[in-house]
Amino acid sequence: MSTAAQPVSTDATRDRVAPSILIADDQPHILDALELLLEPEGFRIEKATSPFMVLDALKSATFDALLLDLNYTRDTTSGHEGLDLLSQIRSHESQLPVIVMTAWANVELAVEAMRRGANDFIQKPWDNARLLTILRTQIELYDAVRRAQRLEAENRLLRAANLPEMIATAPAMQPVLATIARIGPSDASVLITGEHGTGKEVVAQTLHALSSRASRSLVAVNTGALPEGTFESELFGHVKGAFTDARTERIGRFELADGGTLFLDEIANVPARQQAKLLRVLETGEMERVGSSKTRRVNVRIISATNADIRAEVEAQRFRADLLFRLNTVEIHLPPLRERREDIPPLAAHFLARYAQRYRKQVNGIDPAAIQLMLHYAWPGNVRELDHTIERAVLMSREDIIEVSDLGLSPARVSTQALEEMSLESVESILIRKALSRCNGNVSQAAEALGLSRGALYRRMEKYGI
């Protein structure tokens, strides 16, 4: 072997995270020699001595490149083990740089490896300078592709007209947007968690639209609403005569989503008996329609969602831990609306424009007092409740702007801690509503409780549309 190339020492390289390289070879002295060469050059090294160890390492960690030998059984030179392993790797890691290592006499084997998806090859015994050049070139290309994907995702997230509306300016939503931009272009399984009405389906739609599967279907299914008796038929389909009511053949949701994305909502509510069947399809990509023994392969990206504490469900043994591992390669947690109040005005304006157009009403604004009330309302139903509130307000409005009385919000759900930040009119309206509620609508009793005459209370009720 030739002398190792001198490491490049620049401010830029010192600031970067050291590239991580997985080296796979069944001969310990080869692994040791590569480690001695690469670690002083600034690479982090992980070693594997078998195809199983390679696949296991790729499942548990992220690497910037893979140096892959093609033979793993003593006295074997065919390279079939390595070629089969390469095919398996490419089915999951389509872009990871893979550099195969082969002996001088096996150049044709290297050509076959390139045909199966290898990025380059190194001949044994290797030339140190060439090996380092190939590694650095492939890592830089891989890094450039990932940067371009992130930039494209961010641009599409901000500007693409065909994406669902993602209105998120609050600081609490910035980590969510950053994660969506990073993982959108990938095929990674995503678990979206958050309370009811926080917008989990919108996130699922955005992830699909950012992916390479955007031209194919996004198939959504509320798994929690499926009766146990029809669960398999809905997801996997059935053949004619599979059961009493199976009068025709049916395609299941997995097949409908083949090549696209399957969104499994309320995943924590899947019955325990069905979880094993779902896990098998996620692990193998294979399934059978109910009543058929024919195995079908499907290629779907799985996005799931739940409002439950799914880890508590695992601890209580109501949800399989191995299924959770399959579902949450990446987890996105959506904060409730009360933790992203900065988004309430733009969300309200968005819903207002939608429903004013739908119902053909000349409503083009929201009264400041109504905005203040919405900002300090608890929103137990989150964005979905805000959506429904604005729809109702548009229908109920008698003016060209939405007023407090149009919102129909319960005063009991307004945060008393924020009253000092509200206008006098907003506070007065809330207090009157609370008094009337306590007095079961009796105006005389409410007036007495508020220290007002009956006539004064009536005038204020008329003013606030109560």
pLDDT at 164 over 90: no
In this prediction, residue 288 carries a pLDDT of 87
- Give, in order, the Cα–Cα distances in Å from 202 to each of 163, 164, 233, 247, 327: 9, 6, 26, 36, 18
Mean pLDDT for 152-181 is 73
| pTM of the full structure | 0.58
- Give, in order, the Cα–Cα distances in Å from 126 to each of 1, 90, 132, 176, 190: 6, 25, 10, 45, 41
In this prediction, residue 189 carries a pLDDT of 95
Identify how many contiguous H helices and E strands the chain contains and give both numbers. 20, 16
Question: Which helix H or strand E contains 73, and what residues bound it?
Answer: none
For the chain, what is the mean pLDDT?
Answer: 84
Q: Which of 364, 351, 428 is nearest to 399 (CA)?
A: 364
- Strands (DSSP E) found in 185-329: 190-193, 218-222, 237-238, 250-251, 261-265, 286-287, 296-297, 301-306
Three-state DSSP at 60 gives helix
Least confident range from 109-113, 241-245, 269-273, 379-383: namely 241-245
Mean pLDDT for 33-60 is 91
| Cα distance between residue 270 and residue 320, in whole Å | 10
pLDDT at 166 over 70: yes
Q: What is the pLDDT of residues 231-265, one digit of tens each?
A: 888 899 887 776 767 677 778 899 889 999 999 99
- Strand pairing class (301-306; 261-265): parallel
Mean pLDDT for 49-65 is 87
CB 49, CB 68: distance < 8 Å? no
| Amino acid of residue 404 | V
Mean pLDDT for 117-124 is 87
pLDDT at 162 over 90: no
* Highest mean pLDDT (candidates 191-200, 208-217, 271-280): 191-200
Mean pLDDT for 119-134 is 90
pLDDT at 376 over 80: yes
Is residue 435 packed enough to be buried (19+ CB in 10 Å), middle (13-18) or exposed (0-12)? buried
Mean pLDDT for 347-357 is 93
- Residue 147: pLDDT band (50, 70, 90) is confident
In this prediction, residue 335 carries a pLDDT of 94
Q: Which of 41, 46, 43 is nearest to 68 (CA)?
A: 46
CB 121, CB 108: distance < 8 Å? no
pLDDT at 75 over 70: no
pLDDT at 451 over 60: yes
In this prediction, residue 4 carries a pLDDT of 38
pLDDT at 352 over 70: yes
Better-scored residue on pLDDT, 111 or 358: 358
pLDDT at 204 over 70: yes
Q: Hey, what domains does the chain have and what are their CATH numbers?
A: 11-148 (3.40.50.2300), 160-335 (3.40.50.300), 338-464 (1.10.8.60)
pLDDT at 16 over 60: no
pLDDT at 15 over 60: no
Q: Which of 414, 335, 337 is nearest to 369 (CA)?
A: 414
pLDDT at 286 over 80: yes
Mean pLDDT for 98-117 is 79
- Residue 417: pLDDT band (50, 70, 90) is very low
Lookup result for tokens 């650095």: 136
In this prediction, residue 163 carries a pLDDT of 55
- Residue 161: pLDDT band (50, 70, 90) is very low
pLDDT at 197 over 80: yes
CB 208, CB 300: distance < 8 Å? no
| Cα distance between residue 307 and residue 197, in whole Å | 9
pLDDT at 300 over 90: yes
In this prediction, residue 226 carries a pLDDT of 83
In this prediction, residue 62 carries a pLDDT of 82
Phi and psi, residue 151, nearest 5° = -65, -45
Better-scored residue on pLDDT, 464 or 120: 120
- Residue 12: pLDDT band (50, 70, 90) is very low
CB 444, CB 452: distance < 8 Å? no
In this prediction, residue 11 carries a pLDDT of 37
